[in-house]
Amino acid sequence: MVVPTVVADGVLIVHFAIALFIVLGLPCIWIGAALGWHWVRRFPFRVMHLVAIVFVAAESLLGLPCPLTVWEDVLRSNATQPGFVQRWLAQWLYYDLRPWMFNLMYAAFSLLVLATWWLVPPRRKR
């Protein structure tokens, strides 16, 4: 059925965008701090970045599946073969690693993001 596949592709695109936000957000903060970019210290951006990685780490440590992955899987349950979006984005998003490796990576990245709050503190508007 075409509609669930299109919606599943949309879920995958959102999932991929969130992963990019988390992964690329941290080097952007470091580079931006060095170059004087003010937006990397904006409080809402920093809170969203921290909450996103802490959520990912917490669900991983608790052994919970990602809700976006579950939703996408349910929508793709009747698909006969992967579509273009799934073929290209899924290979960048999903890795075949042991759960403890994901737990370690997510926890370490969370600690790095948290440490960055002290190294490059966010600023609230005056």
Q: Which residues pair with 42 in a beta bridge?
A: 123
Mean pLDDT of 44-68: 96
Taking the model in full, what pTM does it have?
0.84
pLDDT band at 35 (very low <50, low <70, confident <90, very high): very high
Residue-level pLDDT at 87? 67
DSSP the chain: -HHHHHHHHHHHHHHHHHHHHHHHHHHHHHHHHHHT-GGGGBHHHHHHHHHHHHHHHHHHHTTPPPHHHHHHHHHHTT-SS--HHHHHHHHHH-----HHHHHHHHHHHHHHHHHHHHHS--B---
pLDDT band at 3 (very low <50, low <70, confident <90, very high): low
Assess whether pLDDT exceeds 80 at residue 88: no
Residue-level pLDDT at 86? 74
